[in-house]
Structure 1
Amino acid sequence: MKLRCIAVQYRKTIRRPAVKATLIFDEDDKNPILLDSNFDEDWGDCLYLQPILHHGIHKKHKVEIIVEDTDTKDKTPFYLMSLIVA
């Protein structure tokens, strides 16, 4: 049996407020994963790696990312860097 790992890489920023997103994995909307772009540090931005699936079963998966606040006039936009599958 092959095992699968999935992660999302996105920017966390010190330029607050920053837009947040919600990740729905395999249509499980009862257990959403928050992708919060607000970095708790004060020294710079960070490319954050959020594990989604660790050593799961090799099969077809669905990843849906919903940007929470599309009015980004006063907020730093959400920046999705990559979806990593191993």
Structure 2
Amino acid sequence: MMLCAFLLNLSGCVLFYLSLNNQQWLARPLSARPWRWLSWLVLVASFALWMWVMDAKAGFFAALVCTMLLLGLLPFVSLLIHKGEQHGKA
């Protein structure tokens, strides 16, 4: 169940990141209106699942820590993507 909560958190953060203008994964960002709202909905669902699996306070802070970690690390994944593309061309 914690894996489901983490995967919800991950998908919400990825959708949120891909809807930003300065994202580096896609050539054009996803349109903000539907995708950013969907990401917020998924993040709220992940917070609720974290709080259901754990104690309410512990689940809230676990979800908050996962969200902060994911939103901090997602921009660096583009470095791995571009490095892999350059490595394949060489």
TM-score by length of 2: 0.24
Which has more helix, going by share of residues? Answer: 2
Query: Relative contact order (alpha carbons < 8 A, sep ≥ 6): 1 or 2 greater?
Result: 1
Bigger Rg over Cα = 2
